[in-house]
Structure 1
Amino acid sequence: MQVLTHFLNSLLTISLLSQTLSWAQSGTRSSAYNGGMRFTLAHGRDVRQDSTGQVYTLFNLGKKNQQIMKGTPYWAYPTWQHGSIQLKTGMAETPCQIAYNVATNEILCRFNQDTTTYQLEPVAFKIWDAKFVRLTQHGYPTYYQILYQGDAQLFSSYKRQMKLLLPQPYGSAYLIGYFLGLERYYYLKLPNGLFHTFQLTRKSFLQAMGDNVNRSLIPPGETLTVDDVVRVLTDYDAH
């Protein structure tokens, strides 16, 4: 009976995480996500590193049948980074230790030396020198890193997909899957224009820019860097 109970609990966890993965892939928000799935991933706040350097996330901390996913749902490891938040437009930034959960789009903060964790919804935040702003695209708000901001604007967003496994013993816990590497997406916004998603390739960037580009500023070859794009946008703003 105990084995059966553990198996059913594991199936429930996998079901919740599978729905989360489906949401992340489709980019749509569901009522189910706002319930159990959000609770499950949001409580994966204990991220550790073993003696081999493997980063892993613990769920059900302090309970029997703890579950582990290799990797982290957060933007960075260590989870807590130096930063600041801006709760409302026009307000001053407040320094804090900040954790950005990319899998759930949640911002966690700790202030001063207090270890109390607050879940907040700032309009903007910083992690070290990386600046993020909350924007609403495709019907729901998410956070975008500001890479260039003038008349033309360049943003990037991040996602972490996950791969699920049948529960298997992993030390004193059970391994149920792992988070994949951080995926990065780029967006261009020209004056009076919509967001254009593009890749860091010559062809993709030229399609996003249309006729608004000095091609002589784009280096030869197919692959571009963020600095290449910023150089073109700086020239665009100067004319």
Structure 2
Amino acid sequence: MQHRVFSLIVFLTLPGLRSYGQCVVSQDAQNRVITTCRYYDAKGGFLMNRPDRSQAITQVTYLGSEYLTYPVWQNGTVESGASEKPIPCKIAFNIATNVIKCLFEGDETIYEVQPDAFTVNDMRFISRVSEKGGKTSRAYYLVLYAGKTRVLKQFRCTLSRTKKEAYASDEPFEGTFRQQKTYFIQRNNEKLRVVNLSRKSVLGVLDDQARRLDQYITQRKLDVYQLVDAVAYYDGFQ
């Protein structure tokens, strides 16, 4: 069965991956999303990606990818303070680096952009800018609920390397890209507060209405819909 290869070629970005290589995101015969990377590896000593010297091309495969979606490119829109309305483009969102790439209609150039907000697959993301050590960075959050209080979700991605044993040489993957999801509640445009999917956590964050919420939330563990419902109920008293 021929693998379906996605046309995005990306430079390695996660710490621990070798530099000077390129990766392709695709699906294998079992419809699993995989990332295949090729890089030059010096046969003897350290060489800086110099094909004119003695180097071997090494190929490694990882399960999953750094990107939010597959296919990586999805129809969406980007928004910035300078634009009067959302601008359509195809979006590739790297959740390991918070980098957004855009392909605009009629232009084959891939642009790296930092919009104030963007939408992909009917999911709306907003950004928050922070400063640390004199450097500013922008992070993106999926909006799950936007009332007086907001519920946000942040996606992260890390690479977990496979520990290969001598007797397990048939392991096809060098590692796995693992997504992490963190939920936040924001009241009155204040600082984001992390919330877990539990009754106790919600009561701790929305403590000014803890008595009402204590009677409203009946389960100890919550799903995302119950979290949003609890915050919407809380908003009714604001």
TM-score higher than 0.5: yes
2:51 matches 1:53:
no
- TM norm structure 1: 0.71
Q: Check conservation: 1:217, 1:231, Cα contact below 8 A.
A: no
In the TM superposition, residue 152 of structure 1 has moved relative to its aligned partner by 1.0
Q: Name the residue aligned to 1:217.
A: 216
1:34-73 aligned within 5 A: 43-44=22-23, 46-60=24-38, 64-73=57-66
2:155 matches 1:158:
yes
In the TM superposition, residue 197 of structure 1 has moved relative to its aligned partner by 0.3
In the TM superposition, residue 81 of structure 1 has moved relative to its aligned partner by 1.2
Cα distance change, pair 126–197 in 1 and its aligned pair in 2 (3 A) = same
Higher helix share: 1
SS of residue paired to 1:161: strand
Higher strand share: 2
| RMSD of aligned alpha carbons | 3.1
Measure the CA separation in 1 of the matches of 2:219 and 2:131: 33
Measure the CA separation in 2 of the matches of 1:143 and 1:177: 26
**In terms of mean alpha carbon deviation, does 143-152 or 186-195 score higher?**
186-195
Q: Name the residue aligned to 1:106.
A: 99
Q: Check conservation: 1:89, 1:123, Cα contact below 8 A.
A: no
2:232 matches 1:237:
no
Measure the CA separation in 2 of the matches of 1:159 and 1:138: 19
Measure the CA separation in 1 of the matches of 2:163 and 2:230: 48
Give the number of the structure with larger relative contact order, counting CA–CA contacts within 8 Å between residues 6 or more apart: 1
The residue identity in structure 2 corresponding to 1:221 is Q
Q: Name the residue aligned to 2:44.
A: none
Measure the CA separation in 1 of the matches of 2:131 and 2:229: 29
The residue identity in structure 1 corresponding to 2:109 is T
Equivalent position to 2:141, from 124, 139, 144: 144
In the TM superposition, residue 69 of structure 1 has moved relative to its aligned partner by 1.8
In the TM superposition, residue 165 of structure 1 has moved relative to its aligned partner by 4.0
The residue identity in structure 1 corresponding to 2:34 is Y
Q: Name the residue aligned to 2:4.
A: none
1:54-89 CA-to-partner distances (Å, cap 9, x unmatched) read 221123389932332221110111111121111336
Equivalent position to 1:226, from 221, 224, 227: 224
The residue identity in structure 2 corresponding to 1:17 is P
1:154-211 CA-to-partner distances (Å, cap 9, x unmatched) read 111011121124799xxxxx9532212x221100111264211011111111111112
Equivalent position to 1:183, from 180, 205, 218: 180
1:89-128 aligned within 5 A: 91-112=84-105, 114-128=107-121
- Runs of 5+ in structure 2 lacking a partner? 1-11, 41-50, 52-56, 166-171
Cα distance change, pair 91–115 in 1 and its aligned pair in 2 (3 A) = same
Q: How many residues align?
A: 199
In the TM superposition, residue 135 of structure 1 has moved relative to its aligned partner by 0.5
**In terms of mean alpha carbon deviation, does 63-72 or 182-191 score higher?**
63-72
Measure the CA separation in 2 of the matches of 1:136 and 1:165: 34
Identity %: 27
Cα distance change, pair 225–138 in 1 and its aligned pair in 2 (3 A) = farther
Q: Check conservation: 2:39, 2:58, Cα contact below 8 A.
A: no
Measure the CA separation in 2 of the matches of 1:17 and 1:146: 28
Measure the CA separation in 2 of the matches of 1:150 and 1:137: 23
